[in-house]
Amino acid sequence: QVQLVESGGGLVQAGGSLRLSCVASGRTFSTYGMGWFRQAPGKEREFAAAISPWNGGDTSYADSVKGRFTISRDNARNTAYLQMTSLKPEDTAVYYCAARKIGFTEFEYWGQGTQVTVPS
């Protein structure tokens, strides 16, 4: 069982930056692939970014955030990050951290979410 706690959300002007953090419980963090998803008001939750287990050598991004967001991990701190730059009003959403075991396609564990608001 993995528990995930996000932090770092807030209100930021368009063009600004934020860094989200996701701290995981347990001693096997490095064996989990990590992901960030987001859900805007009235819309379905969508994928934003993912990083592979262990050294995080493989990353993937939604087209909407590619080039602006960077996912990373620090296994010593049991933490995954999402660095967001050049933020736009359409990035406004609740951002969720998720974890999946090695070899699994679906993300099994989810955090409670953190709100990011970029006023127009």
In this predicted model, what pLDDT tens digit does every residue of 2-17 receive, in sequence order? 999 999 999 999 999 9
Q: What are phi and psi of 90, to 5 degrees?
A: -75, -5
For residue 73, the model assigns a pLDDT of: 98
Residue 77 CB-half CA count within 13 A? 10
pLDDT at 56 over 90: no
For residue 82, the model assigns a pLDDT of: 98
DSSP label at residue 43:
S
pLDDT digits (tens, 9 = 90+) for 13-47: 999 999 999 999 988 999 999 999 999 999 999 99
Rounded Cα gap, residues 82 and 49, in angstroms: 8
- Cα–Cα distances in angstroms (integers) from residue 82 to residues 1, 31, 73, 87, 103, in the given order: 22, 19, 9, 12, 23
pLDDT digits (tens, 9 = 90+) for 103-120: 899 999 999 999 999 999
